[in-house]
Structure 1
C-alpha cells in the first residue's frame, strides 16, 4: 500500500516534497521503506539536508501533552535541486524495538498515534512539514500477552505514552507506553501493561490498581516477567497472569504491597512510583530526547491520509 502526504510549499515558487511510504503498517524492530519525491520550483534551490523522524504524543511530568521525537535518520545531505527538476530519494528507516503499539487486530488503540515527520532545510529555513501516520502492530509475542489479558476478562480502556524510565529494566527510549485495562469483575479495578522490548525478548511490567475500594491494602501492585520472543509465544500467559492476580488479591486482603515492587520508576502522578530525573533532562540510557514540542493536539492527531 502506498501512503502519501504532500508537504507544504517552502516559500513562493520553492520546491515541493512528497513523502511516500511503501506501507504505513509496521512493527517494532521492522524497517519502514519508501521514497521522498521532490519537484523543483521556479528557481534553483540548495537543499541543505532532508531528514525523517518518528514522533509520538505523550505526557510530561505535569500531565501536559507534548510531542516526542524518538528516532531520526538523515536521508540526504546538501545538494542543488534545479528549477523544475524531479528527484526521488529512497529511504530505509529502522523502527526502534521499544516503539509503542498503536494498532491491535486492525483496531487503533485509543489515545495512541505515531507519525513519520519529514524535515527539509532550504535557504536557511527548516520546514518540518506534516506527519505521515503509521500503524504499529504488536509482535507475535506481544499478541500472546494481550490475548491473555482479554481471555482473563480484562477490557481495554486506553493507551498513552509517558516521559520517564522504569527502574530495573533495559529501557532505552526516554518514555514508555502504558496499555490500560478495566480489571476482571471482582478481582481488581484497573491494570496497566508495559512492554520494554529488545531484539531478543521483552520485559513485561503489570500494574494492578488497588485504590478503587476493591482492596483494603491500597496502592498499586507490580508484577514483572522477562522472556524471549520465542519462549513468550508458547508461554501460558493466562496461567502466569492469573497466578499473579491471585497473589495480588491475597496480599491485598492482608494489607500488604505485592512483593515490594510498588515503585518501578513510573514518571508522573500515576501509580508506578517516582520520577527519574535524567529522563526529564532529556537523556535516558544514552538515548537523547530529540524534542519536546508544544505543537500538539489537532496539529498531530488531526493529520489526514491522502
Structure 2
C-alpha cells in the first residue's frame, strides 16, 4: 500500500514523500519493511535525516477521568545525510524491527479496533516535518493466535480491545502501555464472571499471558477481580483448548482477596483498571461480539457496521493528531 503525503510546512516547492510499506500485515518482533520515496522540489535540498515513528492511540485513567492520546512507542532513523536535487526521485529502503509487545490490530483479517500508525519525519536544511499518520496493521504471533482461537472454540466472544497506559507489575513489560482484549464469557462461565480480560506480553523467548476475571458476587459476597498469568513458547505444540480451559478454571477458582494479588503484580495492573470494577468497559465501542465458533474469536468482529466504526475512529485519530502537529509547528 502506498501512503502519499505532502510536507507542506517545508514551504511551497519543497520535496514530497511517499512511504511504501511491504504488503500484508506485520508481526510483533519481526521486521517492518518498505521504502521512503522522495521527490525533489523546485530547488536542491539537503536531507538531514529521515525517521519513522511508531504511534499508538492509548487510553489513560486518572483522577479526573479517562483520556486518550497518541504515544510514540519506537523511533528509527532510516536515512539522511544527502542532497536531494531539484526534481530528483530517490527511494530509501528500510527494514526496522517491531517491538515484541507491538499490539495486535487484527485477527484473521478482521480489525480489533486498535489504532497504530507509522509517521514519517523528514528533516531538510533545518526544517522538520512529521508528515501525517498512516495506519499500521499487525497480525498475531502463532502463540497469540492459538490462545485466541482456543478461547473462540471454548465459546468466548470478543467484546472490545484497547490500549491502556501504565504497567502490569511483576511482568517483563517493556512498553509504557499494554493491550487489553475484553471477552464475553463462555456460557459455562457466565454465571461466575462478567468478562475475561486478556493481555499478551511477548518477548524473544516466549509469551506472557495475563488473564483477569471480573467476577460476579453472590448473595453474601461482593464481586471482585482475580488475576493470574502463564508463560508459553512461541512455537509450543499443545492441546490449546484444554490448556486454555485449564487457565480459565484456575483463574475463576482463584478466590484470593485484593491484597494477595500483589504476587501476580495485580496492584500495578489495577491502577489502570479503575473503570472495570464499576461495569464500564472502555475501548473502541465495537459492541458485544457474538459467541465465537469454529473460526475463533474473530467471528465476533465480522460485520459492515463494525468495520465502518473502526475506519471512522482511525480517520478521526489521525486527523486529530495532524492538527496537533500543525499547532506545534505553527
| TM-score tier (shorter) | 0.7 to 0.9
Task: Pick the aligned partner of 2:119 from 114, 117, 135.
Answer: 117
Cα distance between partner residues in 2 of 1:259 and 1:25: 40
Instruction: Give the aligned CA root-mean-square deviation in angstroms.
Output: 2.8
Residue 13 of structure 1 corresponds to: 13
Change (3 A) 1:94 1:262: closer
CA drift at 1:162: 1.2
Distance 1:52 1:127, change over 3 A: same
CA distance in 2, matches of 1:204, 1:93: 26
Q: With structure 2 as the length reference, what TM-score do the two structures score? A: 0.75
Q: Tell me if the contact between 1:51 and 1:72 (Cα under 8 Å) persists in the aligned partners.
A: yes
1:128 is matched with which residue? Answer: 130
Once residues 175 and 201 of structure 1 are traced to their aligned partners in structure 2, the CA distance between those partners, rounded to angstroms, is: 19
Equivalent in the alignment of 2:242: 239
**Structure 1 length-normalised TM:** 0.81
What is the number of residues matched between the two proteins? 275
- Partner of residue 163, structure 1: 165
Other-structure match for 2:79: 76
Match of 1:270 among 271, 274, 286: 274
Instruction: Note the 1:1-306 alignment, pairs <5 A.
Output: 2-9=1-8, 10-62=10-62, 63-110=66-113, 112-184=114-186, 185-210=190-215, 216-231=221-236, 234-250=237-253, 256=257, 260=261, 261=264, 263-266=266-269, 267-270=271-274, 298-300=316-318
Q: Which is richer in helix?
A: 2
For residue 133 of structure 1, report the CA deviation from its aligned partner.
Answer: 1.1
Contact 1:222/1:258, CA 8 A, preserved across alignment: no
Q: Structure 1: state its 5+ residue gaps.
A: 274-295
- Please list the CA deviations of residues 183-223 of structure 1 after superposition, one character each: whole Å capped at 9, or x if unmatched: 12323111111011012211100000125779934221112
SS in 2 for 1:150: helix
Point out where structure 2 has 5 or more consecutive residues left out of the alignment. Answer: 278-313, 322-330
Residue 271 (structure 1) shift: 7.1
- 1:142, 1:299 → 2: CA distance? 26
Q: Distance in 2 between matches of 1:271 and 1:72?
A: 31
| Whole-angstrom CA distance in 2 between matches of 1:301 and 1:59 | 17
Structure 1 residue 244 displacement after superposition: 3.9
Q: Distance in 1 between the 2:174 and 2:230 partners?
A: 18
- SS state at 2:198 partner: strand
Q: 2:226, 2:252 within 8 Å by CA — same for their partners in 1?
A: no
